[in-house]
Amino acid sequence: MILDRIEHGDQYARLQPRFAQAFKFLRRPDLASLSDGVHEIEGTQIYATVGKFPGRRRDEAKLEAHRRYVDIQYLVAGREEMGWKSRRLCSVYDGAYNAEKDVEKFGDSPDAWVALEPGVFALFFPHDAHAPLVGQGELHKVVVKIALD
């Protein structure tokens, strides 16, 4: 997991060639006014999901992990906490892996919590289980999905 400010995003392009396009999208001046839903950046290789979601309590948040995509979760408005746990330490499976949605969920408790505010992103690799959308009120988020293949 990486937690940083959006202005430092270009530093991570060396980790994965597609990160440059993802961070370019997140710096769009019209990002806050994009419609909810999926926005193609580079086909299914890089795309973004934009949405406004009600915040939930920590005990309502489920850890999830992905196998084929890296997540860059960026908060446009609100204040969010996200739980984290190493995927290899998760042992309470909450259903089978859903290949179509590239998600598996866990009933384990996070080992750590990080706070996001507007301008901050969290980058999650497949080995990072994460519990998003913890907060009060409405959370306006953009999640960029970057394929690993």
Instruction: Domain of residue 115: give its range.
Output: 2-147
Count other Cβ atoms within 10 Å, centred on residue 37: 9
Alpha helix positions (H), the chain: 19-26
Q: What percent of the chain has pLDDT over 70?
A: 100
3-state secondary structure of 22: helix
| pTM of the shown model | 0.95
Residue 9 phi/psi, 5-degree rounding, is: -55, -40
Which CATH number do you get for residue 52?
A: 2.60.120.370
Report pLDDT digits (tens) over 69-95.
999 999 999 999 999 999 999 999 998
Sheet holding 69-77: strands in order across?
2-5, 120-124, 69-77, 138-147, 46-54, 37-42
Counted domains in the chain: 1
Is the Cβ–Cβ distance between 21 and 10 less than 8 Å? no
